[in-house]
Chain A
Amino acid sequence: MNLKTFSRGGVHPPEHKLSSGLAIEELPLPEVVVIPVSQHLGAPAKVIVDRGDQVKIGQVIAQSEGFVSTNIHSSVSGKVLKVDKFMDSSGYRKMAVQIQVEGEDWEETIDRTDDLVRNTVLKSEAIRKKILEAGIVGLGGATFPTHVKLMVPKGKIAEYLIINGVECEPYLTADHALMMQRTEEVFAGILVLMKGLGVEKAIVGIENNKPDAILKMKQVAKGSKVQVQGLKVKYPQGGEKQLVQALLKREVPSGGLPIDVGVVVFNVGTALAAYDAVNKNRPLIDRVVTVTGKSLEKPSNFLVRIGTPVSYLVEKAGGLPGDTAKVINGGPMMGKALSTLDVPVVKGSSGILLISEAEARRKEVLPCIRCTKCVTVCPMGLEPYLMMSLSEKARYERMESEKVLDCIECGSCSYTCPSSRPLLDYIRLGKAEVGKIMRARKAV
């Protein structure tokens, strides 16, 4: 097989795909769900239900505010207990709706049959509207509202749709499971997105550690305009810019988006959600979450309703192992450490990873010996060692000219540093400060 990959940098963290090949298991409903109104990038949605209201599965409970925003739906049926601030994955308290689960009462408009709807008669604009209404966001983790991405800005031309089935994060297997078990639906979703975007060509990029998924997607895509391309295993291939470069040899310009080179990238999970939304009228109320960890009794791929507490998932996967010292929402490279299990699954949760005491702590920080490893692995061609020392000295203007904003925060530099230096921590700080400076400049 002819395999492609991106050209600059990259690392090979051990894969540990413990839940690979396991069937997607639908979890029974929890007793209470907490659904945050800001599960996407952009403006938080506006709550339109009140305490005591009865809601159905799929009912809109918070409405999109502004263009870059999207709807939030109830993932269960029952009574609204509270509309208040609840702790999110960062430990800060954000507005959310708490619902007591009572029975299973679905919105009538939702097509709940398993019948496959291959084609849609809808036009591009109608598809976008449906996707906005269904609250679809990028399910790879960035949670950018999908309808915004489908809207090609004036002066730009979309040529390719790229479907991201790379799943380059170690441990995570949710996308793999989707491609294996919901192949037809994912494929139909790709067709929906192509139509919504108005493009003729689509490429599905899948890393070669999932040969079964490559094969299966190839079979289903045979004879269509969707091409399936195997990729060499290398992190961070799932980064939009890296994936576009790997597949098409086009480099997204600095500060630009894939659409600047005629490409729009979606995750396979997003494709499935788009299928559900457009062909089955089903809003985004659940997603596949990998629950994994070396000491976990039963690593699993769960189909989970949005708003389910993380503690419930861990319990269903065999309970919290005694040696757990770190819980990560997402993968080990880019995921966010949780301070408590008392937070809900949101649209962007791709996995829950439990790390044991032995691997949880960072190693002692040693002086930088200028080994050049961080520069070599940086997929964006930046100099992390320099960024860190500039950030420590608060030299943010220099950081800006060194293109710190190009950093995709993939963590390859911190991963590879033999001195265990917190490179990305400081780069992220610098990025935030540079962002502030740039906004202030714009305001003047």
Chain B
Amino acid sequence: MNKFIVSPSPHTYTDESVPKLMYGVIISLLPALAVSVWFFGIGMIVVTSVSIASCILFEYLIQRYMMKVKPSHLDGSALITGLLLAFCLPANIPFWMVMIGALAAVGIGKMTFGGLGNNIFNPALVGRVFLFISFPVAMTAWPEAGQWMQYTDAVTGATPLGMMKEGLAFKTVGEIMPEVPSFLHLLSGKMMGSSGEVSALALLVGMLYMMYRKIISWHIPVSILATVFVFTGVLWLANPDRFADPLFHLLTGGLMLGAIFMATDYVTSPMTHKGMIIYGVGIGVVTVLIRTFGAYPEGVQFAILIFNGFTPLINKFVKPKRFGKEVSRG
């Protein structure tokens, strides 16, 4: 006689699984990766490979020898962390710094909290900020695009946001704008910046893919981008000499990468659509505040980390709309 299996309902399950979702995210990162390799050549390849390899290695080592659990280093989450970390580093950063960043990302950002699903802050951003504070010079020497064979010896320059910040000290926006890359270049990514964040277009393609696969909903990226657009728009209208226009803000810096791939990290973002919008608006506001009034030219990483910290609070107070609280007739 057959030995039947007994379990509580339901007895059928979706085909979706955590590794499938993770690899979906990786696929959506590929266009941006391709663009970066095109612009930054060998440097991008080295940084990315080192970052991914060390994230996976550190995850394995920590799980195997420190936490003594079954390692889950191949479920795709460490790969994403590695990829995202590489994306927000300059492509000419020495590889040993990348490894330190990966250790901070996986070790401090993820494993100290208990591994996948328990971390409060986005691991890749923890790694990036750790490096940014530890090695400020290396982290702000951006290679110029198109130097295929140069790695750490690449010619460097300033990011558009950096130019804006520096320039505003003694010039008006109108005087700075001719110096920054054209909008077409900003869109395609031919500018100075962290390796993966440069091409807004490639990142948007990734976002559309993730939305198509229903990996992410529109709430977080759209609310961040819309907030930045509206907030900078208001500032720009108020004083176009002092503040850059909204399109410039949308297309420069790590905003697209942050809004699409970092802020939407499942673990560290709110659970409800309403909460996601609050979170997105918060990130947008803080980003603009740092960019326009803060000491750093770019603030999206800090904004995301700050609101990562708010996520548990948002989850506690923003609940989904329960069924049947009010009775509507009609």
**Chain A residues near B324 (CB-CB < 8 A):** 241, 251-254, 256, 380, 406
| Cross-chain contact B11 with A355 (CB below 8 angstroms) | yes
**Whole-angstrom distance between the Cβ of A12 and the nearest chain B Cβ:** 9
**Chain A residues near B327 (CB-CB < 8 A):** 250-251, 253, 260-261
Given A253-B327, A260-B327, A418-B16, verify A8-B321 contact (CB < 8 Å): yes
Interface check A108, CB cutoff 8 A: no
A241 to B325, CA, bound (A): 12
| Cross-chain contact B18 with A418 (CB below 8 angstroms) | yes
Interface check B170, CB cutoff 8 A: no
Q: Which one, B7, B21, B320, contacts A381 given CB within 8 A?
A: B320
Given A326-B4, A338-B4, A369-B266, verify A415-B323 contact (CB < 8 Å): no
| Cross-chain contact B5 with A381 (CB below 8 angstroms) | no
Interface check A416, CB cutoff 8 A: yes
| Cross-chain contact A324 with B10 (CB below 8 angstroms) | no
Cβ contacts A81-92/B at 8 Å (1 or 0 each)? 000000000000
For window 280-330 of B, CB contacts with A under 8 Å fall at 315, 319-330
A325 to B7, CA, bound (A): 11
| Cross-chain contact A339 with B4 (CB below 8 angstroms) | yes
Stretch at the interface among A148-156, A219-227, A271-279, A370-378: A370-378
Given A337-B4, A360-B5, verify A326-B323 contact (CB < 8 Å): no
Cβ contacts B195-235/A at 8 Å (1 or 0 each)? 00000000000000000000001000000000000000000
Interface check A368, CB cutoff 8 A: yes
Interface check B62, CB cutoff 8 A: no
Q: What is the interface of chain A mostly: helix, strand, loop, or mixed? A: loop
| Cross-chain contact B9 with A336 (CB below 8 angstroms) | yes
| Cross-chain contact B18 with A333 (CB below 8 angstroms) | no
**Chain A residues near B14 (CB-CB < 8 A):** 11, 13, 415-418
Stretch at the interface among B110-118, B126-134, B171-179: B110-118
Given A251-B328, A340-B4, A370-B267, verify A241-B10 contact (CB < 8 Å): no
| Cross-chain contact B4 with A335 (CB below 8 angstroms) | no
For window 226-275 of B, CB contacts with A under 8 Å fall at 266-267, 269, 271-273
| Cross-chain contact A335 with B322 (CB below 8 angstroms) | no
| Cross-chain contact A249 with B320 (CB below 8 angstroms) | no
| Cross-chain contact B6 with A406 (CB below 8 angstroms) | no
Given A333-B10, A367-B116, A415-B14, verify A372-B322 contact (CB < 8 Å): no
Interface check B20, CB cutoff 8 A: yes
Q: Which one, B2, B7, B17, contacts A362 given CB within 8 A?
A: B7
Interface check A420, CB cutoff 8 A: yes
- Please give me the 7 A-B residue pairs with the lowest Cβ-Cβ distance, nearest first: A411-B10, A367-B117, A332-B12, A381-B322, A380-B323, A251-B324, A337-B6
In addition to A326-B4, A366-B72, A375-B272, 19 A-B residue pairs with Cβ atoms within 8 Å of each other are A250-B327, A253-B324, A322-B2, A326-B11, A330-B9, A337-B4, A337-B11, A353-B11, A367-B118, A369-B267, A371-B21, A372-B266, A376-B273, A380-B323, A385-B271, A386-B315, A414-B10, A415-B12, A418-B20
